[in-house]
Chain A
């Protein structure tokens, strides 16, 4: 579904240049939910924006369904962290959700129907006629998710989607993503700085190093489903994996990209974590 090959990106040039991505390799297969975590400022967002075609990377390649990305791919939607800036305040909730469907060649009635269906999926039918700024933060982010759902992308990117809402709402939204994902069979790449969240939501957790970022580890999450906010988080496997990711993210400051040509050995020795063989560079 998604292939990222040796992706590099540098902002600016000369002495002020900032190398954000130092050669990222990532494969996501159809139907997977992959969480990308990393220290703040490590280039997670740059990675996402490169996949979405919003940033033209300085090196490497992104392929969606085998086709190299140039411009924004047809079949892809993004949920941004800052819902208040990504929803259009001059459009009603319904029109916000229906807007992208123009590209799908639907007529007005069909767009409205699709928007209503997507809003129902996030339990916001009743807010259709309201304006985004009349809703709470969590509700606004649900509108943004509904907009992405209505678009029916095969690949959904989420950039810190729950970073700006309170803890309770956050849990609700995490479960919402798990629910709609099961229902719509989408491939999802979710970027977050929250380690708990990455383990709770993901099928895989990809850990990035500090900028210039490379993949530090790629861990499979083997937790039983359906996941539950309390029970799942109590599982020893969850606790263990969370500690593992945590160690990788902040772990050792001397961690540089050079040390990560191979995945650290302890990730493979852990009984709970299986590194997919195609990702381990020997």
Chain B
């Protein structure tokens, strides 16, 4: 077989695999379209109407800007800014604290109940407090996201750092690595698989808390604001569209993080498979 033929066969195989996995998506969308047109309910607009509204709302911009309209930029930039900003802060704080707690049984003893209690508080409960403390601005958004997403990072970092193989640590000590070197070259890599699990979980939580903070804090822009705005205008295609955008966003965040995780932890995945 020629090279191109091989490639063709491989592509066909991939396409078939994709078709097997994704065939339900067009089917469900089509059924929904037909049913919605038949029922003509205001509450359940057909997908075509949702897409048209979405396009008008956010994706009518010039191609150079990936079709994003001014409204889309005005909504996405602050929302995603808060999301990533809060997530990054929580990651830094959670990893630093978590590794410190994980490496010290004494420290862990003192703070364990505080962590247990802190993570049991539903984060949205604190939003009214943050509004009073910070007014309804960026700081309130960040505080909500940081408080909400720091726990998975913290708890997983503690776990990862606590159960580093004793032999790894002893090897590092025997060969005279300094404390800082042991932290960077041994403890952090060994804890990385756990830490990454926490980071991924907290990224999806960050999306949720971003929306909650925007909804409860009555933001004046952002994806959450758009939800309230469309609701108040009884713009149901707009609401459905916004929700769909959030779903796509969550899916994209999770899958792009998975790509990064796979690359960073390739040693872990492959070492695990072998034995």
Chain A directly contacts chain B within the complex, with at least one CB pair under 8 Å: yes
How many angstroms between the C-alpha atoms of A100 and B177 in the bound complex? Answer: 7
Chain A's closest residue to B165 (CB) is: A85
How many angstroms between the C-alpha atoms of A80 and B271 in the bound complex? Answer: 19
Task: Answer whether A88 and B271 are a contact pair too, CB < 8 Å, given A72-B174, A78-B174.
Answer: no
Q: Which residues of A contact B165 (CB under 8 A)?
A: 85
Q: Which residues of A contact B186 (CB under 8 A)?
A: 88
Do residues B167 and A100 form an inter-chain contact, with CB atoms below 8 A? no
Interface residue B168 (Cβ < 8 Å from any Cβ of A): yes
Q: Which of B51-79 contact A (CB under 8 A)?
A: none
Q: Which residues of B contact A171 (CB under 8 A)?
A: none
Do residues B267 and A90 form an inter-chain contact, with CB atoms below 8 A? yes
Chain B's closest residue to A84 (CB) is: B275
Interface residue B109 (Cβ < 8 Å from any Cβ of A): no
Interface residue A228 (Cβ < 8 Å from any Cβ of B): no
Do residues B167 and A90 form an inter-chain contact, with CB atoms below 8 A? no
How many angstroms between the C-alpha atoms of A74 and B189 in the bound complex? Answer: 25
Q: Which of B158-177 contact A (CB under 8 A)?
A: 165, 167-168, 170-171, 173-177
Classify chain B's interface size: 20 to 34
Residue from B171, B267, B268, B270 within 8 A of A80 (CB atoms): B171
How many angstroms between the C-alpha atoms of A195 and B15 in the bound complex? Answer: 62
Do residues A103 and B189 form an inter-chain contact, with CB atoms below 8 A? no
Q: How far is the CB of B57 from chain A (nearest CB, A)?
A: 46
Residue from B174, B190, B192 within 8 A of A76 (CB atoms): B174
Interface residue A89 (Cβ < 8 Å from any Cβ of B): yes
Q: Which residues of B contact A133 (CB under 8 A)?
A: 267, 270-271, 274-275
Classify chain A's interface size: 20 to 34
Q: Which of B28-60 contact A (CB under 8 A)?
A: none
Do residues B267 and A89 form an inter-chain contact, with CB atoms below 8 A? yes
- Contact residues of B: prevailing secondary structure: helix
Residue from B167, B176, B181, B267 within 8 A of A85 (CB atoms): B167
Task: Answer whether A102 and B268 are a contact pair too, CB < 8 Å, given A85-B168, A90-B189.
Answer: no
How many angstroms between the C-alpha atoms of A100 and B181 in the bound complex? Answer: 10
Q: Which of A62-80 contact B (CB under 8 A)?
A: 72, 74, 76-78, 80
Q: How far is the CB of A132 from chain B (nearest CB, A)?
A: 8
Q: How far is the CB of B105 from chain A (nearest CB, A)?
A: 16
Do residues A90 and B176 form an inter-chain contact, with CB atoms below 8 A? no
Task: Answer whether A99 and B168 are a contact pair too, CB < 8 Å, given A90-B189, A133-B275.
Answer: no
Q: Which of B67-120 contact A (CB under 8 A)?
A: none
How many angstroms between the C-alpha atoms of A198 and B274 in the bound complex? Answer: 32
Q: Which residues of A contact B177 (CB under 8 A)?
A: 99-100, 102-103
15 contacts between A and B (CB under 8 A): A52-B170, A72-B173, A77-B175, A78-B174, A80-B170, A80-B171, A86-B170, A86-B171, A90-B189, A90-B192, A90-B268, A100-B175, A102-B177, A131-B270, A133-B275
Q: Using a CB–CB distance below 8 Å, which chain A residues touch chain B?
A: 49, 52-54, 72, 74, 76-78, 80, 82, 84-86, 88-91, 99-100, 102-103, 131, 133-134, 147, 151
